[in-house]
Amino acid sequence: MLTQAAAEAADAADAFTVDLEGYEGPLHLLLDLARKHKIDLVKVPILQLADQYLLWVHAAREKRIDIAADYLLMAAWLAFLKSKLLLPSEKKDENEVDPDALAGRLAFRLRRLEAMRNAVNELYEGNLDGRDVFPRGDPQLAKIIRKPIWNSTLHDILKAFGDINTRKVKMRAHVIKRQPVVPLEAARQRLAALVPDLIDWASIQQMHVIDEESKDAPRRSEVASFFSAALELTKNRVVDIRQDQLFSDVYVRKTPAEDLKAAE
């Protein structure tokens, strides 16, 4: 056992292994053999091609080259096909494949592989982007030159001029009218004059300013001025101000004397 194991180890150490990555598969090898021996792929002599392939496999095995399983499988299949072609069976089974059909299918696959490899070579022989040709930078926009061509008559020009004058809007001076308002001082003086008589609550909405300058003032301006004057007099403890609810009338009255004494 030890002697046999040592012999196998020595054989493994002396084995010469060749990388077959140069071929992409058994079909590639067959195509290369056909090219080397100048075999026409239109009419492939399968027997001759099979002999060349089997010789290559046999030579590789004699040189103790480790061959991939798919190459050996192709060799076995070619040997089987060769035997079928050389020794055709007299009784044809219905399930048996015609060897001529198998040979034709192999020839077709070889021609297709050659066409694909030729197409790849043509692509690589052409100009490659980044190697043979280089794109330019930003595209240059075309310059557009416009040349107006006037075809208007004198009548058209006069008509257009008339239309412009018709549409022209005359400039008018913007006059800002003075908005009449009730001065705050006038409302304060009027409310101060009414304070001695305001023993009970009185509505601001019922008060008016007797002034020629303010007679045209809107009612909201008069109410606003009286309300501002009431707030000022309330601050000075002259009047009291009251509003029962939101958006209701505002009432004022003279501040009672007892409230003034209590505040002091």
CA distance 101 to 105: 6
Question: Tokens 């002697």 sit at which residue?
Answer: 3
Backbone φ and ψ for 207, nearest 5 degrees, come out as: -90, 145
pLDDT score, position 123: 81
CA distance 237 to 263: 9
pLDDT score, position 4: 45
CA distance 252 to 231: 10
- For 85-95, write each residue's pLDDT tens digit: 666 666 566 66
- For 101-119, write each residue's pLDDT tens digit: 777 777 787 788 778 888 8
pLDDT score, position 22: 55
Buried b (16+ CB within 10 A) or exposed e, 230-256: bebbeeeebbbeeeeeeeeebbbebbe
CA distance 208 to 229: 13
pLDDT score, position 6: 39
pLDDT score, position 86: 66
pLDDT score, position 81: 66
List helix spans (H) across the chain.
2-14, 26-36, 46-62, 69-86, 99-125, 154-167, 184-194, 219-235, 257-263
User: What would the DSSP string read from start to end of 152-167?
Assistant: --HHHHHHHHHHHHHH
- Residue 33's Cβ-side half-sphere holds a number of Cα atoms within 13 Å equal to 21
Long-range pairs of 153-161 with CB within 8 A, sequence gap ≥ 24: none
Cβ contacts of 233 within 8 Å, gap of 6 or more: 188, 191, 192, 195, 239, 252
pLDDT mean for each 10 residues of the chain (264 residues): 41 41 60 60 61 72 60 69 64 64 75 81 80 77 85 88 77 78 86 86 83 77 88 88 89 80 63
Domains of the chain: 10-88+97-124 (no CATH), 184-263 (1.10.10.580)
Q: Please, what sign has the CA dihedral across residues 104, 110, 112, 114?
A: negative
Please check whether residue 44 is in contact with residue 68, taking contact to mean a CB–CB distance below 8 angstroms.
Answer: no
